[in-house]
Structure 1
């Protein structure tokens, strides 16, 4: 896909996420890695609903701004995911309501923020890690992401929001949407003793779809 087309895709999918209320105001950011090792990222203080493809921040492989507006302050977050997730070609970070709410609950397991509720959650997101709170743009969040050793493609930032990587921008967006819907399901069912997927069902999904899941305690 050409760089021009990638710029247009970031704007199209960003608007879709914004119009469906998945990231309000000027929150959230998107990046896509390019074939030359550099990447495109949404500018700072830009609403995902009103992006201009010509003003997208174009970064060199070393993170230096080459053209466009100043990039999002969350560049360290995106960089850490690219460095630890070798197959990652895109990163999406939102402030979606249900995922943020989930990140604030006291019972959440940092190694598996959500139980295996649906097959598509496991297929799109795998497991989701929870990292402690860092102020937006804090470079220390990169160390927290690197501490996950590339085992997670979906991560919740406590009291902040989800961040998801994918091998394409579309895959990252789809996974983000699945994470948000699963967080919503969890909140709807919280305290109702729902039936999650059994370990056997998880093993079957893992085998059939070639999933690689971090080792965590079973939720039964």
Structure 2
């Protein structure tokens, strides 16, 4: 896919996420890795609903901004995922309501922020890590993500929101949406003693679909 098409794709998915209320105002950011090792990323203070393809920031393989508007302050967290997940081709970070709410609950396991509630959650997100709160743009968030050693494609930033990587932008968007819907399910069922997937059902999904789940949660 050409760089022009990738820019258009970022704008198309950004608008879709914005129009469905998954990241309000100028919150959230999207990046896509390019063949030359650089990447495209949405600008700072830009609404995902009103992106201009020509103004999307372009960063080279050395991390230098070479064109476009100044990039999002969250560049370090995107870079950390690309550095630790070699197959990642895109990263999506949102401020989606239910995922943020989930990140604030006291009982959340940092190694598995959500239980195995549905097959599609495991298939699209795997397990979700929770990392502690850092102020937006703090380079320390990159260190926290690096500390996960690339084991998680799906991460919650405490009191902030989800950040998800995948091989393509479409896959990253779909996984982020699945995470948000599963967080919503968890909040709806909290305290009602719901029936989650059994270990045997998890193992069947792992075997059938070749899932790579972090071993620490099993």
| TM-score normalised by L of structure 2 | 0.99
Unaligned stretches of 5+ residues in structure 2: none
Is 2:210 the counterpart of 1:210? Answer: yes
CA distance in 1, matches of 2:167, 2:102: 25
Structure 1 residue aligned with 2:8:
8
Is 2:163 the counterpart of 1:172? Answer: no
Deviation at 1:216, TM superposition (A): 3.9
CA distance in 2, matches of 1:10, 1:189: 34
CA distance in 1, matches of 2:91, 2:114: 20
Runs of 4+ residues deviating >6 angstroms: none
CA distance in 1, matches of 2:182, 2:191: 15
Deviation at 1:63, TM superposition (A): 1.1
Structure 1 residue aligned with 2:113:
113
Q: Secondary structure at the match of 2:184?
A: helix
Q: Secondary structure at the match of 1:31?
A: strand
CA distance in 2, matches of 1:76, 1:215: 26
Q: Secondary structure at the match of 2:215?
A: coil
Deviation at 1:215, TM superposition (A): 2.1
CA distance in 2, matches of 1:210, 1:217: 17
Deviation at 1:217, TM superposition (A): 4.3
CA distance in 2, matches of 1:176, 1:163: 8
CA distance in 2, matches of 1:33, 1:134: 25
CA distance in 2, matches of 1:216, 1:148: 11
CA distance in 2, matches of 1:36, 1:14: 23
What is the alpha-carbon root mean square deviation over aligned residues?
Answer: 0.6
Q: Deviations over 1:89-130 (max 9, x none)?
A: 000000000000000000000000000000000000000000
Structure 2 residue aligned with 1:192:
192
Is 2:153 the counterpart of 1:153? Answer: yes
Q: Secondary structure at the match of 1:13?
A: helix
Q: Deviations over 1:145-168 (max 9, x none)?
A: 000000000000000000000000
Structure 1 residue aligned with 2:63:
63
| TM-score normalised by L of structure 1 | 0.98
CA distance in 1, matches of 2:78, 2:144: 12
Q: Deviations over 1:177-205 (max 9, x none)?
A: 00000000000000000000000000000
Structure 1 residue aligned with 2:87:
87
Structure 2 residue aligned with 1:72:
72
